[in-house]
Amino acid sequence: MAHVEGQQHPIGIYFWIWGLLFVLSAGSYMVDYLNFQGYLRWSLILVFMFLKAGFIVAIFMHMRWERLALACAILIPTGALLVLIGLMSFEGDYVNATRGMFFSTESAAPVGQLVDHVVGHR
Amino acid sequence: MANEAVADTGRSIAMVEGLPGIVADWSSDQRAFKRVPWHKAMMWIFLLSDTFIFTCFLTSYMTVRMSTTVPWPNPSEVFALTIAGHHIPLILIAIMTFILISSSGTMAMAVRFGYQQNKRMTAFLLVITALFGASFVGMQAFEWTKLIEEGVRPWGNPMGAPQFGAAFFMITGFHGFHVTVGVIFLIITAVKVMRGSFDIGRPGFMTGRKGNYEFVETMGLYWHFVDLVWVFIFAFFYLW
């Protein structure tokens, strides 16, 4: 069994992607450093995140050159996680709303202080 | 032997009874993932299951952060450091991010030199990758120490919502554990490369299978995944 089935690609592409990941990471750090807020912040974070993740999976993990059967077996179940995220965001909103309804007489700060007090450090 | 069973699919196979029959039946299936060695396909399946675990952590973090009525601590401030008199937000996390990306780059090169059977370069790059990984874990230990000294606990903290500590220690702790395991296996792989185990097909200590340079790529998949998870943790926990 001397044959090798692995992925062999020119070294240049790794250097390019490496550099690109540095630039994208610097970009996402600048989002915080320049203190962008609101939808601009969130959309920039997501764009940089998905670009970085995509390049890592496609090039560094060689998914781009694998057969579609493997890519689908791995990526489609991952996509199903969006359902979980969607459901839990509804749940989070709902719990937040009920807390707003039932705990509304208490202001936000004392809850954290109460926990600190009970636990006994600070 | 084992290799024959993988390669031969089209012919009829004699039925084996009893316990050996279970093994024979499960291992007689046709090979679904062409052009990848079995250990690489299995690594992908493992990484898929790991993706589900990390998504569960990040989703629970999202849920507690959305549902709490107490203000969430500002990560930009919590993870700021004062270096040489300058107050720089999130700087340690940024350095950790660049270190992990660099380690991914050296890992990708190690895979490439492995397929060229260049032992010295492969082992050298694997060791560099392991050193990057170890320094990442070291910085994480520093970060944990700093936060624990500031009174952050899994059940509360002085800055705001008590769930902050639980999410922080759970998510970064589980990721740091992955990095630590990766560093250990990077060193094991580097030793195997250096002593020529992949050239002569020496059986591995865990599986007993014959080693070859495809193992370096499978190791690389795991390491890139650790970097991949950090991309999501960095975006959702530290930047959001």
Which pLDDT tens digit goes with each residue over B14-64?
Answer: 678 888 877 877 776 667 787 888 889 999 999 999 999 999 999 999 999
pLDDT of A113 over the 70 cut: no
Closest CA in chain A for residue B98: A22
Q: Report pLDDT for B13.
A: 58
Whether pTM > 0.90 for this model: the answer is no
With cut-offs at 50, 70 and 90, classify the pLDDT of residue A105. Answer: low
Q: Tell me how close the Cα of B26 comes to any Cα of chain A, in angstroms.
A: 19
pLDDT of residue A4: 55
Q: Can you tell me the mean pLDDT for A99-109? A: 68
Q: Is the ipTM of this complex over 0.90?
A: no
Among B55, B90, B151, select the one facing A29 at the smallest CB separation: B90
Min Cα separation A23/chain B (Å): 10
Bridge partners (DSSP) listed for residue B81: B88
pLDDT higher for B2 or A20? A20
A82 burial type by CB count under 10 A (0-12 exposed, 13-18 middle, 19+ buried): exposed
Q: Which two tokens stand for residue B185?
A: 């296996």
Is the confidence at residue A107, as pLDDT, over 70? no
In the beta sheet, which residues pair with residue B87? B82
- Report the distance separating Cα B159 and Cα B168, nearest Å: 13
Asked if B119 and B129 touch (Cβ cutoff 8 Å), the reply is no
At residue B22, the 3 state secondary structure works out as: helix
Gap from A38 CA to chain B (nearest CA, Å): 10
* A-B contacts at Cβ under 8 angstroms: 191
Q: How many residues does chain B have?
A: 240
Which of the residues B42, B55, B63, B216 would you substitute to probe the A interface, choosing the one with the greatest number of A C-beta atoms within 10 Å?
A: B63
Per-residue pLDDT of chain B (240 residues; tens, 9 = 90+): 344 444 444 555 567 888 887 787 777 666 778 788 888 999 999 999 999 999 999 999 999 999 998 899 988 888 888 887 788 888 899 999 999 999 999 999 999 999 998 999 999 999 999 999 999 999 999 999 999 999 999 998 998 899 999 999 999 999 999 999 999 999 999 999 999 888 888 887 777 778 888 899 999 999 999 999 999 999 999 998
In A, which residues are within 8 Å of B98 by CB distance? Answer: 22, 25
Residue closest to B155 by CA, chosen among A120, A97, A106: A120
| The pair of three-digit structure tokens given for residue B35, joined into one six-digit string | 């052009």
The confidence score (pLDDT) of residue B5 equals 44
DSSP E strands in B85-141: the ranges are 86-88
Residue of A nearest to B164 (CA): A112
Whether A78 contacts chain B with CB within 8 A: yes
